[in-house]
A and B are shown apart, each in its own frame.
Chain A
Amino acid sequence: MSALLPLAQLEIRSRRGGTCESEDGFCPDWIADNLDRYVSPLLEHVVLTVASVGIGFAIAFALALLAHRREWVSAPVGALTSVLFTIPSVAAFLLLVPLTGLGVLTAIIALVAYTQVFLFRNIVNGLSNVAEETKDAARGMGLTDRQVLWRVELPLAVPEILAGVRIATVTTVNLATLAFFAGAGGLGAQIYTDITFRSNVVVAGGLAILLAAAFDLMVLGGQRLATPWRRATAA
């Protein structure tokens, strides 16, 4: 029966008893000795985030291109992504478990759904914010609709698209700390197993924040590489 209960999956690890540890303190020595137990939760967290944002981007990109071509798609899809985002993540993870089972897949399904609100909206906005004159000029040069999309509209939309990716990534790192409710581990599982132990909370929570910051900087760096023309004007 315990297999059905996500929280029962978490193994409460015992700590060795120095005074600092037994008083739930912040113990640099304990942290230094036990850093290795945070490696695999961190990796699980990275996998959850990268997979969710990657799959989420593919879906949002396809939907946004569809909405770009067929205007009426935009409003209902946008509304749907907002409503999905409204569902508390703990509830979403738990409600999916009877349907898709405990595990990483379930967590990723929910996390992908949460990325849509940022990715879909930003891709759609990025594409529609391209100036009509620019597109006219491109058509005047003889570019087909497809060429206008891939060579003019999408490159010009890159900053707004990547702004969406940044928000989606940071939010996913945040929400993935609750993915253990779907039995998918991650840094949240580590926090939860020993939530009163200060050393544990600081290390696991701190790693989650650092991970979010690292992903944010990576996407920002990618944005600078992808839009060299912006650097020229900004500098």
Chain B
Amino acid sequence: MAARDGGVTDLATGGPFAANAFVEAIQFLVAPRESVTGGVQVGGVDEMLTLTANHLLLSFAALAIACVVALPLGLWLGHIGKGEFLAISASNVGRAVPTLALIAFFIAFVGIGFLNVLVALTLLAIPPLLTNTYVGVRGVDRDAVDAARGMGMSEPQIVRRVELPMSVRSVFGGLQLSAISVVATAILGPLASVETLGTPIVSVNVYGQPGLLGASILVAALAILIYVLLAVAQRGLTPRGLKAGRSDAPGILRRIPFLQRQGSAQPT
């Protein structure tokens, strides 16, 4: 604990204290210790796993609900080519509302607890998904859609088998943005009595500086991991023909043979 008694000067100048702080933070993650206030054990693998699980549960639930709401809406609006104003301004408005203000608004006006935080995070996750799905579908080559229609596909079939696969890249871009902001904002969960990886950060007077830094390291790693996993999933789900460098072999269009010659269906 010597480092903590070192005070502001050590902190301001960096130096040995900095390295020490991160070493202590890692130690906090692996081994429990007595809390700053005394009496209870905090940190260690077990508690961090529990907090991580809570964090993930909250984040995935919010993302799943957002997908259920935003994907069909974005696909439908994009398909009929209407509601551009709604779809585009959703993310402009979403971007302008500070996440802390959103959480604070729920705490002050709606209430605390898992469900309220879940709703707040879902609201946060919807705009990027909606906008990117809409933009993705609008970006699909109209010739491909016309060809599908000419082959006798029904409108739902066109959405499912042509427009959705061809806008995977854009949809996943939106999903990544949503996931980033949900995982980041779930840190504020403890403000509304929801235990997440933000708990050691918000309750720093109990967990101490190592807990705060340890949780920060963990949540940063988690966010990057989720981002990478989504990027991998996007690559897996992108129709082979739409991947970079393969633009002349449009896999999704293989069912529409005469379109292969065009090969210019790269969505952006």
Contact = CB atoms under 8 A, between A and B. Distances in A.
Interface in B15-62: 17-18, 21-22
B97 A95 contact: no
Interface string B90-126: 0010011111111011011100000000000000000
A86 B201 contact: no
A204 B105 CA distance: 11
Contacts of B209: 4-5
Interface in A66-97: 82-83, 85-92, 94-95, 97
Interface string A1-16: 1011111100000000
B180 A85 contact: yes
Given A86-B227, A98-B22, A198-B108, A91 B96 contact: no
Contacts of A90: 184, 187-188, 198, 201, 216, 219
Interface stretch (A50-58, A148-156, A187-195): A187-195
B53 to A, nearest CB: 17
Nearest to B18: A98
Interface in B169-224: 180, 183-184, 187-188, 191, 198, 201-202, 204-205, 209, 212-213, 215-217, 219-220, 223-224
A205 B104 contact: yes
B11 interface: yes
Contacts of A177: 98-101
Contacts of B107: 195-196, 201
A91 B14 contact: no
Interface residues of B, number: 48
A216 B17 CA distance: 41
B7 interface: yes
Contacts of A208: 98, 101
A198 B111 CA distance: 11
A97 B191 contact: no
A188 B17 contact: no
Nearest to A166: B92
B7 to A, nearest CB: 6
A205 B100 CA distance: 8
Contacts of B99: 174, 177-178
A136 to B, nearest CB: 23
Interface stretch (A32-40, A99-107, A139-147, A225-233): A99-107
B220 A88 contact: yes
Contact of A201 (B96, B101, B205): B101
B108 A24 contact: yes
Contact of B96 (A82, A174, A202): A174
A88 B183 contact: yes
Range, interface on chain A: 35 or more
Contact of A95 (B7, B11, B105, B217): B217
Question: Which has the most chain B C-beta neighbours within 10 Å: A88, A171, A202, A204?
Answer: A88
B213 A95 contact: yes
Given A95-B217, A98-B14, A191 B104 contact: yes
Nearest to A102: B11
Nearest to A90: B187
B95 A91 contact: no
A199 to B, nearest CB: 9
Nearest to A207: B101
Interface string A160-184: 0000000100110110011001000
Contact of A188 (B12, B98, B198): B98
A157 interface: no
B132 to A, nearest CB: 14
Nearest to B204: A5
A102 B212 CA distance: 14
Contacts of B109: 198, 201
15 contacts: A6-B204, A7-B202, A86-B223, A90-B201, A94-B216, A95-B217, A171-B95, A177-B98, A177-B100, A191-B100, A191-B101, A195-B108, A201-B104, A208-B98, A208-B101
